[in-house]
Amino acid sequence: MDLNLKIEGMRDEIIRSTQEILKIKSVEDTPKEGMPFGEGVAKSLEYALNLSMELGFKAVNMDGYVGYAEYGEGEDYIAVLGHLDVVPEGDGWHYPPYGAEIHDGKIYARGALDDKGPMIAALYGLKAIKDLNLPLSKRIRIIFGTNEETGSNDIPYYLKSEKPPVAGFTPDAEFPLIHAEKGLTVFNIVKELEKKGNGDIRIEYIKGGQRANMVPDYCEAGIAAKDKGAIIEKAEDFIRRTGFEVKVEEKEDKLIVKAFGVSAHGSVPEHGKNAIMIMFAFLGEINLTDSDIKDFIDFMNKFVGFETKGESFGCYLKDETGELSFNVGVINMNEDKVTMALNLRYPCTYKLEDMMNPFNKRIEGTGIKVEDLAHQEPLYFAKDHELVQKLMKVYREFVNDNSEPLAIGGGTYAKEMPNTLAFGPLFPGKPDVIHQANEYIEIEDLITITKIYAKAMYELAR
């Protein structure tokens, strides 16, 4: 019996296990003892390790930071490395985000594609290798990360006590495979609001977005105004002219302005509609008195607006691996301070200072400061690299696709773990629904990637 037939025979188990793990909400939360990223993430890891033992593998929990299933003998090992933590579900779901319901051949849930479905696929791919007793020269590990979405503090913890795999892949991007990943930054821009303004309109707060690496789909502002009717009229005119979704509600002595956008992954902000920048576009049209928050809003409208590549900001970069991406992810503003979280990603042949020098030049003299900058260097594998060649060969056995390896803006575990690149799970031409409402994985794709990952693991470990 070959791997593909063996996997077809496990179809119902693969679907059931995928649904079970998707029902666990594993968004990072308050740390507890043995649960460094919160209870939901810990439960998801516990489920994966229990399943690993049920399938006959050695299972290890590394203090709640990371876990792994292992099979085989040998000094060296190859690995499949993915994550069990997910981004917040957000709004706009047609089905319960942790219901894992099946509709039209798709399993709907947060994490279905990113990354829980593919990790279950890898686990059952390894089960097929074990059941067929295929000859291997290396051990195979399925490594369950738990902190990919909010900092990747799990892999450094793993590497403190474990050597890296000699080869591996992470099922956290798209096919055919990713040979280059842009440099990635997340940081805050902060401005103290000393000049308050004392006119007829005062912004009391602005809040919106959930993560720097998500295009925000909601933003809200509280406004105290003497002439509320004038602002409501402005909003109606703004909606008519722009087509954007903005609502104004009266609440006690103030107006609540709500802007609605479309969420997308922060690496492709052009795929979304940024609710924060919709809010800023509207606030830029009302008669705010001279104040620091007015200056900040005007600055962002002038130099960012709805651009997603940093052109007007002056930090645009481009090479053969792609263009710079610029995402405004989160805003928190009160009467004393505004903090905005940005996610900028730059092409592979550039350095951090090529982006940050012009960025800092633009904010000079504005009172805006950069704080809490986190940075990942770009990643690059040549297209003739052995790992690239082996995985491309496996992929083409299953899919009639001669497209070349890709460069992406998304940052994956491949940046954290040596000798690793991103391989699947999204097939060419399929909608990219990660980090969006109504995330799903097609059941037929889930089974196909199980087959692809099984063959890939075998080829790397044989």
For residue 376, give the 3-state DSSP assignment: strand
pTM: 0.75
End-of-domain residue from the set 376, 397, 427:
376
Distance of CA 323 to the CA centre of its chain: 18
Residue 371 and residue 384 in one domain:
no
Partners of residue 374 on adjacent β-strands: 186
**How confident is the model at residue 129, as a pLDDT?**
98
Residue 191 and residue 327 in one domain:
yes
Residue 19 and residue 153 in one domain:
yes
For 413, the domain range is: 3-181+379-461
**How confident is the model at residue 320, as a pLDDT?**
83
- Residue linked to tokens 């947060």: 110
**How confident is the model at residue 321, as a pLDDT?**
85
CB atoms within 10 A of CB 372: 10
End-of-domain residue from the set 328, 347, 376:
376
Residue 437 and residue 455 in one domain:
yes
Q: Identify the CATH number of the domain in which residue 243 sits.
A: 3.30.70.360
**How confident is the model at residue 1, as a pLDDT?**
63
Any residues with CB less than 8 A from the CB of 321 and at least 6 apart, and which? 180, 182, 347, 348, 349, 378, 380, 407
Residue 175 and residue 259 in one domain:
no
Residue 238 and residue 119 in one domain:
no
- CA 142/CA 80 separation, integer angstroms: 5
Residue 299 and residue 284 in one domain:
yes
**How confident is the model at residue 290, as a pLDDT?**
84
Q: Residues of the chain whose pLDDT is less than 70?
A: 1
Which residues are part of the catalytic machinery?
85, 148
Tokens representing residue 23 in the block: 């029902």
Residue 311 and residue 405 in one domain:
no
Residue 360 and residue 386 in one domain:
no
Q: Identify the CATH number of the domain in which residue 149 sits.
A: 3.40.630.10
CA Rg value for the chain: 24
Residue 394 and residue 356 in one domain:
no
pLDDT in tens, 282-296: 999 998 888 899 999
**How confident is the model at residue 443, as a pLDDT?**
99
Reported residue count of the chain is 462
Give me the number of domains the chain comprises.
2
**How confident is the model at residue 409, as a pLDDT?**
83
Residue 198 and residue 282 in one domain:
yes
CB atoms within 10 A of CB 23: 14
253 burial level (CB within 10 Å; 0-12, 13-18, 19+): exposed
pLDDT in tens, 196-246: 877 788 999 999 999 999 999 999 999 998 888 899 999 999 999 999 999
Element housing 234 (H / E): helix 228-242
End-of-domain residue from the set 376, 403, 433:
376
Residue 269 and residue 321 in one domain:
yes
Q: Strand 167-170 relative to strand 218-225: parallel, antiparallel, unpaired?
A: unpaired
